Amino acid sequence: MPNANYREDFPVYEKNPELIYLDSAASSLRARPIIDAMSQYASYAHANIHRGAYRLSFEATEKYEEVRKKVAKWIGAKESNEVIFTQGTTDSMNHLMHFFEDDDRFEKGKKIVLSIFEHHSNLVPWQQLAKKKGMILEYIYDFSEESLKQIDTTTQIVAISLMSNAVGLIPPIETIIQKAHAVGALVVGDGAQYITHREINVCQLDIDFFAFSGHKCFGPTGIGVLYGKRQWLEAMPPPRFGGDMIEYVTEQETTFAGLPNKLEAGTPNIDGVIGLGAAVDYMIYRQVQNNNTLDALREYAVDQLSELDFIRLVQPLKDSETILYGPIISFTVKDVHPHDVASILDQSNIAIRAGHHCAQPLMKYLELTGTCRISFSIYNTRDDVDALILALKSVRRWLGYES
Ligand code: PMP
């Protein structure tokens, strides 16, 4: 496999050569260039940003703002001020939820439309918003013409994951955006999984908001991005008040800074931003997005898993023409709880995810309590899949079943 060498980029394998890491959808492993960039910054270049009148601070500010430009270019934003650094996808969604909550345009009786495939991060905030404002929360369960008619003139927000973390499904986002805009609704895109696997151009897509997290892109935790069209970000009230987000403060009044500072109060996660910048460079260098090798690896794994009669693949809407799948596979093992499967596989150094994947409404809809989930990244190879298949063959026997 051409990507076999990529393992060398990931120091964790030096200490754990036996590790078979199949949980990148939860968090990707950390690549050396990112660790090095963060260590370099912390050792030799750290100072607080935006406020120092000395070289180290100027340089730190420059580095921080360069990352904003880099991210903006990478995701196809019109301008870097449309990129706001947050703590991650969850934090981005919560910023948005407070924005919609405070804005009178979003009204009682109007609809928020979600897909059933959403992660709780792109579900609970909207559920809470609906409760607070008396809005109606509606789900679509597939992406057929008929179902998309739910996005009607009473809809104000459509919140949708561009790749489901629970089952890997990629919905027809272009069509959804067209339908939403045709009725004047805004589209919030959860890109937490999509961002590492598919190229995104927010401008071409014409999406209103798009969020992702650094730790799923080989970068550090605690950093993420909220992209928003300028007109919306300008309308957003500051999510937090304090230093760095002000223009002028008197004893009784404050005027706020412009974008992006207005939305980034206090000393930000500068280390995280440096790490995210290095992660973007790394992803471009390794051509992580639209990676055919990973798609082929998924196909190989699906084929191999399909051969096992005690495995049930969980691939909702797989026969629908408008649905694609990313390199995330959910499955169940006959008679065995997913947590038991994960614990048994751990004996063979195979790390997989088990449970509801923060998508309990989806699990309920699929009449499952949970699944086993494997997810691939550039350090995975067919050998990893082969080892998984071998280990899966023994799971049921471990628990006393004959085969
Ligand atoms: N959305 C999706 C699709 C995810 O996979 C995740 C992380 N599992 C999140 C949102 C939340 O991301 P974070 O925990 O980094 O805020």
Tens-of-pLDDT digits for all 403 residues of the chain?
444 579 999 999 999 999 999 999 999 999 999 999 999 999 999 999 987 889 999 999 999 999 999 999 999 999 999 999 999 999 999 999 999 999 999 999 999 999 999 999 999 999 999 999 999 999 999 999 999 999 999 999 999 999 999 999 999 999 999 999 999 999 999 999 999 999 999 999 999 999 999 999 999 999 999 999 999 999 999 999 999 899 999 999 999 999 999 999 999 999 999 999 999 999 999 999 999 999 999 999 999 999 999 999 999 999 999 999 999 999 999 999 999 999 999 999 999 999 999 999 999 999 999 999 999 999 999 999 999 999 999 998 888 887 6
Domain assignment present for residue 29? The answer is: no
Asked if 275 and 348 sit in the same domain, the reply is: no
Three-class HEC string of 49-116: CCCCCCHHHHHHHHHHHHHHHHHHHHHCCCCHHHEEEECCHHHHHHHHHHHHHHCCCCCCCCEEEEEC
* Cα 315 to averaged position of ligand 1 atoms, centre (Å): 20
Nearest to 196 by CA among 10, 25, 329, 7: 25
Which of 285, 304, 319 terminates a domain? The answer is 285
Q: Verify that 168 and 226 share a domain, yes or no.
A: yes
Nearest CA to ligand 1 atom 2: 192
Atom index in ligand 1 nearest the CA of residue 26 equals 8
Catalytic residues: 358
Q: What whole-number distance in Å separates Cα of residue 82 and Cα of residue 89?
A: 16
Q: Give 3-state DSSP helix, strand, coil % of the chain, rounded to 5.
A: 45, 20, 40
Determine, yes or no, domain membership for 328. Answer: yes
Task: State the DSSP code for 28.
Answer: P
Q: What's the total number of domains in the chain?
A: 2
Of 256, 285, 314, which residue is a domain's last?
285
CA distance 270 to 68: 11
CA of 214 to the centre of ligand 1 (A): 10
Kindly state whether residues 148 and 170 are assigned to the same domain. yes
How far, in Å, CA of 116 to CA of 142, rounded? 8
**How many A from CA of 118 to the centre of ligand 1?**
10
28-32 CB contacts, 8 Å cutoff, 24+ apart: 28/196, 28/215, 28/216, 28/217, 28/218, 28/377, 29/218, 29/377, 29/379, 30/218, 30/219, 30/220, 31/218, 31/279, 31/282
Which tokens go with 156? 């104000």
Atom of ligand 1 nearest to the CA of 118: 3
Place of tokens 């300028």: 230
Q: Rounded to an integer, what distance in angstroms lies between the CA atom of residue 400 and that of residue 120? A: 36
Same domain, 192 and 82: yes
**Domain with 367 in it: what CATH number?**
3.90.1150.10
Cβ(184)–Cβ(153) under 8 Å? Answer: yes
152 within a domain of the structure (yes/no)? yes
Answer whether residue 229 is part of any domain.
yes
Whether 58 and 163 map to the same domain: the answer is yes
Domain containing residue 198: 34-285
40 and 12 in a single domain? The answer is no
Does ligand 1 lie within 6 Å of residue 86's CB atom? no
For residue 302, the tally of other CB atoms under 10 A from its CB is: 16
Indicate whether 77 and 214 sit together in one domain: yes
Question: Does residue 90's CB lie within 6 angstroms of at least one atom of ligand 1?
Answer: yes
Within a domain: residue 257? yes
Distance separating alpha carbons of residues 38 and 40, to the nearest angstrom = 5
Q: Are residues 134 and 252 in the same domain?
A: yes
Does residue 393 form part of some domain? yes
Query: Is residue 403 assigned to a domain?
Result: no
Q: In angstroms, what is the span from residue 211 Cα to ligand 1's centroid? A: 9
Judgement on whether residues 121 and 205 belong to the same structural domain of the protein = yes
Is residue 28 assigned to a domain?
no
Cα(89) to ligand 1 centroid in Å equals 6
Of 322, 371, 327, 357, nearest in space to 142 by CA: 322
Q: State whether 257 and 345 are in the same domain.
A: no
Q: Does residue 213 have its Cβ closer than 6 Å to ligand 1?
A: yes
Q: Is 87 in the pocket of ligand 1 (CB under 6 A)?
A: no
Q: Are 76 and 203 in contact (CB under 8 A)?
A: yes
Residue 100 and residue 106 in contact, taking contact as beta carbons nearer than 8 Å: yes
Could you list the beta-strand ranges (E) of 181-300. Answer: 186-190, 209-213, 224-228, 246-249, 254-256
DSSP category for residue 344: H
Residue from 120, 193, 198 whose mutation best tests the ligand 1 pocket (most atoms within 8 A of CB): 193
The pLDDT, as a whole number, for residue 2 is: 42
Determine the atom of ligand 1 nearest the C-alpha atom of 87. Answer: 16
**Which residue, 247, 262, 285, sits at the end of a domain?**
285
Are residues 63 and 207 both part of a single domain?
yes
CATH code of the domain covering residue 102: 3.40.640.10
Q: Are residues 146 and 175 in the same domain?
A: yes
